[in-house]
Amino acid sequence: MFCSWRKSPTASCSCAYRLRGSLPELLNHLCCLGQTTMVLRQQGLSLAKATAFGLSVAYREEAWHVLHDRLSGLETDTHRALGVYLIADACDRRPLLAMAEPGSPIHLSIRLEGHVWDSPVVRTLIDHFKGASLDCMESRRLGAGAWLDEWERPVSSGCDASVVHGAYRMLQECRELKVDVRMRGCRGSACFEPSFIDSSGTVLRITDREQRHVVHADVSDPGFHLVRTGRAGFRLEVVD
C-alpha cells in the first residue's frame, strides 16, 4: 500500500498528490526527468517499457489537442478529463507520475528511475503543479502498483487451450512485434523482438532479451488480435 496502515482512511497522505495545471506543460517536462519505466494498461493488454521522453507535439492539423512523443511512443488527448497524480511506489518509494479518468484506476504510470521521493525534483513537481495531498483511501484506490495482468475485469477461464498455443507458436516465429495499447485519453506503442514467451492460463507474457519491454496479453479477451504483418513480423492489440 502507499500509506501507513496506522492512518485513518480520510487522513492526508504524504506519498500521493493530485497535480494541477497544464497537461501539455507536464508532458513536456518529462524530457527533463531522465530514464523512466512507462506502464500502459488497457483491458486485456499491458505494456511496460523502459524509455526516456522527448517533446510532446501535435502532428495532425485536424487534431492539435492530440500530442505525440516520438521517443517514448506516448500519445495523449489533452481534451480528455484526465487526473494526473504523483505517487510514491509502494516497494521503494520511487516517484510515479500517473494518469486516470475521474473515478477510474490508473491506466498510465511513469516511474522516474533516476529520482527518489524526497528529492528536490519531486518537491518542485508538487510545488509547480500545485499538488493537492490525497487521502489514504483514494491513493489505494488508484492502484498504481497493480500487476500487469490485473485488469478492471478479471481474466476469463473459458478460453480454448488451442487458442493460447496457437498464439504462442506465432510469437515463436516473430522477429518484430509491434504492440499498440489504447487507453482512455492515451495511446502507446512499442516495437521489439520477443526473446522470452510463456503463459499463465490465458495470459501470454512476452519480453525482449534485455527486458526493456514486457507485455501481458489476455488471449481470451474478445478484442485480442495477433496478426502477421510481414514474413516474421506481427502486430498485437486488443480492439474495443
CA distance 89 to 66: 29
Give the tens place of pLDDT for each residue, 87-138: 988 778 899 999 998 888 899 999 999 999 999 999 999 999 999 998 777 7
CA distance 146 to 107: 10
DSSP run (H or E) holding 19: strand 12-19
List of the chain residues with pLDDT < 50? 1-12
- Residue 223 is predicted with a pLDDT of 93
- Give the sheet arrangement for strand 12-19, strand by strand: 132-135, 12-19, 83-88, 95-100, 108-112, 36-42, 45-51, 213-218, 203-207, 196-200
4: Cβ contacts below 8 Å, ≥ 6 apart: none
List the domains of the chain with CATH numbers: 12-142 (3.40.1570.10), 161-238 (no CATH)
Grid cell of 46 as nine digits: 499491458
pTM above 0.85, yes or no: yes
